[in-house]
Amino acid sequence: MPPKLSDVELTHLMKQLARVQGLDLSDDRVDRDLVAFKGHLAAHEKIRAVPLALEAEPFVKLKAKG
C-alpha cells in the first residue's frame, strides 16, 4: 500500500511534476487541481488493488523495424 501524503506534500509533488514537464503553474492553479489529482491517485490505487494473474495482463507485441 502506498504511503498517504498530506495535502501539502501532494501540492509540492504536483509542482515538481509540472516543472519537470516544463509548466510553470501558479499556486492557485495547483490548489484548484488538488482535488482532481487526489481522485486520479485514488483511481490508480483501486486499479492496483485488483489481483490479476500475469496471463491476464494486456500484451502488445512490438514489431522490430529492419
> What distance in Å separates the CA atoms of residue 16 and residue 24, rounded to the nearest whole number?
10
Tell me, yes or no, whether 1 lies in a domain.
no
> What distance in Å separates the CA atoms of residue 48 and residue 20, rounded to the nearest whole number?
25
Tell me, yes or no, whether 61 lies in a domain.
no
Host domain of residue 35? 7-56
Count of domains observed in the chain: 1
Tell me, yes or no, whether 36 lies in a domain.
yes
Give the residue carrying C-alpha cell 491476464: 56
> What distance in Å separates the CA atoms of residue 29 and residue 41, rounded to the nearest whole number?
18
Tell me, yes or no, whether 65 lies in a domain.
no
Return the pLDDT at 32: 93
Tell me, yes or no, whether 49 lies in a domain.
yes
Q: What pTM value is reported for the model?
A: 0.64
3-49 pLDDT, tens digit per residue, is 788 999 999 999 999 999 999 889 999 999 999 999 999 998 898 88
Tell me, yes or no, whether 63 lies in a domain.
no
Contact 22, 32 (CB under 8 A): no
